[in-house]
Amino acid sequence: MAAPKIIFDCDPGHDDAVAILLAAQHCEVLAITTVSGNAPLALTTQNALLMCELAELDIPVHAGADRPLLVRAAHAPRAHGATGLDGPPRPEVHRSEASNDAVGCIIETVRGHDDVWLVPVGPLTNVALAFRQAPDIVERIAGVSLMGGAVGPGNVTPTAEFNIWADPHAAQIVFTAGAPVVRMAGLNLTRQLCVGATESAALRAHGGTVPAFVAELFDFYLAGYRRRTGVAAAPMHDPCAVLAVTRPDLFAFTARHVDVETDGTLTRGMTVADERPGTDASPNCEVAVRIDASPALELIVEAVCSYR
Ligand code: RIB
Ligand code: CA
């Protein structure tokens, strides 16, 4: 079966970086687009270029939105450091972005190809702008497989996950646009897929520039989670959105109507899934509720070790 065609929209970010390596092994990545999120746009773009250069990936990187639609830009240095990719010494980056028009890239790529999946793993600003500027692409895509939201506790607030919270208005546009499929890998799912010392050791044992670099990314990422939660296990949030396209057989999904709270004082950015028995709200989302973590982790480690 042909590899799924995707546009990967990201805000690298440690888990975004691993998801790029995974996606490049299992998908035809037509483009990588970057957005302000874990770090400011200049850094998330640099980090995407860094990963493509390090892994010798011939994928164009297009920079996108440097701020959310309406709320103030917010970043996540606690989780990802000041550069967005703290941990390993930063290699020199010689590549440049293909354009500063991620939205135009999404629109033209979808118009030029059938069955493209949009795989956003950062704030949904670029995707929302593309849907607003070119509503025709909504029915052309195969679907949206996003990392974001949660059915249950958030991370940036008790009720909201960072990607959705960082641009709730964009998220509401994407969830309610009417795309053929919206698959949501929320925190309730991604917290089931954690890397730890075992995975870092496997990468180091394998050797190679990319596995060693990712092992150092894991060390930084794990140290942050150990500091904050007391547990040396770190969720591979963004790779879940890739696997939901490439290996949906590893998941269980439930069809739900999901909308996004854009204004709540305590609930801004909450993904509100209608779980009422017998609700008449028609589902607009396949909410991932379970993942078979062991084969998923093997796929991640195997993908990273497939690079030099
Ligand atoms: O809440 C987790 C999400 O926020 C992940 O996509 C991570 O990379 C950050 O962007
Ligand atoms: Ca991300």
Which pLDDT tens digit goes with each residue over 62-103?
999 999 999 999 999 999 999 999 999 999 999 999 999 999
Which pLDDT tens digit goes with each residue over 227-250?
999 999 999 999 999 999 999 999
69, amino acid identity: L
Ligand 1 centroid from CA 171, angstroms? 14
Ligand 1 centroid from CA 162, angstroms? 6
Q: Which residues line ligand 1 (CB under 6 A)?
A: 11, 13, 15-16, 37-38, 76, 121-122, 147, 155, 161-163, 237-238
pTM: 0.98
CATH of 5-305, one of 3.90.245.10, 3.40.50.300, 3.40.190.10, 3.40.1030.10: 3.90.245.10
Residues classed as catalytic: 237
pLDDT band at 143 (very low <50, low <70, confident <90, very high): very high
Residue 1 has pLDDT above 90, yes or no: no
Which pLDDT tens digit goes with each residue over 144-194?
999 999 999 999 999 999 999 999 999 999 999 999 999 999 999 999 999
Ligand 2 centroid from CA 114, angstroms? 26
- Residues around ion ligand 2, judged by CB within 5 A, are 11, 13, 16, 121-122, 238
Residue by residue, DSSP assigns the chain as -PPPEEEEEE---HHHHHHHHHHHHHSEEEEEEE-SSSS-HHHHHHHHHHHHHHTT----EEE--SS-SSSPP---HHHH-TTSS-SSPPPP-----SBS-HHHHHHHHHHHSSSEEEEE-S-SHHHHHHHHH-THHHHHSSEEEEE---SS--SSSSS--HHHHHSHHHHHHHHTS--S-EEEE-HHHHTTSEE-HHHHHHHHHH-SHHHHHHHHHHHHHHHHHHHHHS---EE-HHHHHHHHHH-GGGEEEEEE-EEE-SS-TTTTT-EEE---TT--PPP-EEEEEEE-HHHHHHHHHHHHHT--
